[in-house]
Chains A and B, each alone.
Chain A
Amino acid sequence: MALVSPSIKATTQAQVRASITRRDRNIGGLVLYVLLLIAVATTLLVLFTLLARLFAPALPVFRDRGLSFFTGTIGSNPDKVGIWPGLYGSFIIGIGVIVVSIPLGVAAAIYLEDYAQNRWYNRLIVINIRNLAGIPAVIYGILGLTIFVGWLEPLTTGKTVIAAALTLAVLVLPIVIITATEAIRSVPQGLRDAGYGVGASKWEVTRDHVLPYAAPGILTGTVLSLARALGEAAPLILIGAITGLLPATSLDGPFTALPMTIYSWSSKATPPKSVLGFDNVAAAAGVALLLLVLVFNIIAVIFRNRFEKQRIGL
């Protein structure tokens, strides 16, 4: 004690006092926190503005037109147009995705998880699938235009909804495979071993144990990919979806889909005498598409939550 000179003691005291009072004024930390809050708030604000700016012009359409907006066809008078051809096209595309990419995707996932050995060609398939998932959608449109509209014309009869459905099925295939692979990977090894232990074959174990256990996860992925396929417009422009007049919907004739309807109406000028503008009907079609996609996303979230609960054993 006697060795400590008073002057040192004074500076120490000052330092201690300073560090204690500085703690109360943690400006850097506060600034960071506020910046982060601004980022989150802006993101939420953008989303809410977008929704408000979509719903506001859409409301008069739903109010004035009611059901006829859903049953009418596309055309040049915004007071008369409807989204029926779009709904029809999107419905067929949805069916196409379910019929083509789900069986194919799940089978590929089963192979990669349970059957494939760790060889270079199997690793190549995995890398390839990850790359396919990152390719811009519009490139799948070029593929669809060449293969499904061009080469397979006898099957699809050209620029039809069948060609569009196949193109979008191919587009979402990598997503289906990746999510199904993850779902199958989460199946406990013990379940498989137990199956083999009682003499089941590989296929029997896959069919009776692995697939039922992985089903909610696989469903989540497929529902999400369905939502993605329904919202995609770029490949449809390439395939040649109709934006002008479409008197009748058919599997083997000209087609359109809901996102294409929004795309074409967004840039159409409103004729002078009409009550509703193309702005309004485009927004209303946007609301319809958004609700459709949202419903699928919510279903996926419900599946995922059930999936997670099942994992903890509830």
Chain B
Amino acid sequence: MTLIFRIAALTSVVISALIVFTLVRGAIEFLRLVPLSGLIDDAKTPGWFPRRNRFDLPTVVLGTLIMSSIAMVVAVPLGLGTAIFLAEYASSRTRRIIKPIIEVLAGMPSVVVGYFALKFIAPELVANLFQPDKIQNMTAAGIGIGILIVPIMASISEDSLSAVPGALREASYGVGARKSATVIRVVLPAAVSGIVAAFIIAVSRAIGETMVATMAGGLDGSGARTSSPLDPGLSITAALTNAAGGSDQALVGAPVKVLFFLGLLLFVVTMGLNLIADKFVRRVRQKY
């Protein structure tokens, strides 16, 4: 019996090993076709054009950075605000109503948010607010990704706020501090590790979010390098899904092999962020 259970537990290690093996092998094969120096396009208008064997890494990295930054601008105030409200201000009755609603948002399939970004955020919200040249752009996609990560930001922050011992709040009230001063000067600093962890995990999710970036980014797998959030753009994930693209492609050639390279990049970045977040979470646990 023990042996069966041990094999089950070891399956997860095998999965990790296979993921790393697959990505590294594919990335090496890609780099054999396209040398590292070819990853910065030196054309007049550089860009990510896999069918023409032009793989400009800055294009997709910039796209990812822009979209996840916009996502964080949306998710941090909404998520953290909701968390502080729920943990410090809401009555238990309000909490009982709002928490399940946030959980609905947490369970929202990303493809549905992608549809929302494509059909509402881009044409009605972003188009009216910023008058972009193209209806589909990175701002719309970024806002969509932000909506998706609000619940993560909210729930992890709320957990860390709730973990702050009540005695700290009482001590603050005891020396005559107001509720607002207690929240800002006592509770938030005490919960800062957890909030930082929430932030990092949210960034990691934003970088890895695929469907919204693919559907609402405004490009079909290729495009010029841009640093304007109001331009259409490609994220690493969007470039990846487009490389896999059609269902009847064989796995040959750089335009397809590039998906392993992008996957490895994504894997390394998100895993690094997750490990850092884990350190912060553990710090919260040690403290209280």
| A residues lining the B interface (CB < 8 Å) | 26, 28-29, 32-33, 35-40, 42-44, 46-47, 49-50, 53-54, 57, 103-105, 107-108, 110-112, 115-116, 122, 124-125, 128-132, 134-143, 145-147, 150, 159, 170, 173-174, 177, 202-203, 227, 230-234, 237-238, 240-243, 254, 259, 262-263, 266-267, 279, 282-283, 286, 289-290, 293-294, 297, 301
* Docked-complex contact A290 and B108, CB < 8 angstroms: yes
* Docked-complex contact B270 and A262, CB < 8 angstroms: no
One digit per residue, 1 when the CB lies within 8 angstroms of any chain A CB and 0 when it does not, for chain B 86-130 equals 100100000000101111110111111111101110000000000
Nearest neighbor of B116 in chain A, beta-carbon distance: A50
- A146–B260 CA distance with the chains assembled, in angstroms: 10
* Docked-complex contact A128 and B13, CB < 8 angstroms: yes
Least distance between A10 CB and chain B CB atoms (Å)? 24
* Docked-complex contact B81 and A26, CB < 8 angstroms: no
- A54–B119 CA distance with the chains assembled, in angstroms: 9
* Docked-complex contact B9 and A143, CB < 8 angstroms: no
Known: A43-B102, A234-B237. A294 touches B107 (CB 8 A): yes
Hey, which chain A residues are within 8 Å of B115, CB to CB?
54, 262, 266, 282-283, 286
Least distance between B177 CB and chain A CB atoms (Å)? 10
* Docked-complex contact A136 and B237, CB < 8 angstroms: yes
* Chain B binding surface SS class: helix
Say if the beta carbon of B240 comes within 8 Å of chain A: yes
* Docked-complex contact A290 and B112, CB < 8 angstroms: yes
- A141–B266 CA distance with the chains assembled, in angstroms: 13
* Docked-complex contact A263 and B114, CB < 8 angstroms: yes
* Docked-complex contact A146 and B103, CB < 8 angstroms: no
Q: Which A-B residue pairs are the 7 nearest by beta carbons?
A: A39-B81, A136-B208, A231-B109, A111-B5, A107-B8, A29-B180, A234-B210
Least distance between A172 CB and chain B CB atoms (Å)? 12
* Docked-complex contact B147 and A137, CB < 8 angstroms: no
Hey, which chain A residues are within 8 Å of B209, CB to CB?
136
- A233–B274 CA distance with the chains assembled, in angstroms: 22
Known: A111-B8, A128-B12. A262 touches B111 (CB 8 A): yes
* Docked-complex contact A145 and B244, CB < 8 angstroms: yes
Give 13 A-B pairs besides A147-B22, A231-B107 with Cβ atoms closer than 8 angstroms.
Answer: A40-B98, A43-B78, A50-B147, A108-B5, A115-B5, A125-B10, A138-B237, A146-B22, A231-B108, A231-B110, A240-B247, A254-B247, A297-B107
One digit per residue, 1 when the CB lies within 8 angstroms of any chain A CB and 0 when it does not, for chain B 236-267 equals 01001100100110010000000110010011
Say if the beta carbon of B18 comes within 8 Å of chain A: yes
* Chain A binding surface SS class: helix
Known: A47-B101, A138-B208. A173 touches B118 (CB 8 A): no
Least distance between A37 CB and chain B CB atoms (Å)? 7
* Docked-complex contact B241 and A44, CB < 8 angstroms: no
Nearest neighbor of A227 in chain B, beta-carbon distance: B107
- A42–B238 CA distance with the chains assembled, in angstroms: 28
One digit per residue, 1 when the CB lies within 8 angstroms of any chain A CB and 0 when it does not, for chain B 201-225 equals 1001101111100110000000000
Hey, which chain A residues are within 8 Å of B80, CB to CB?
39
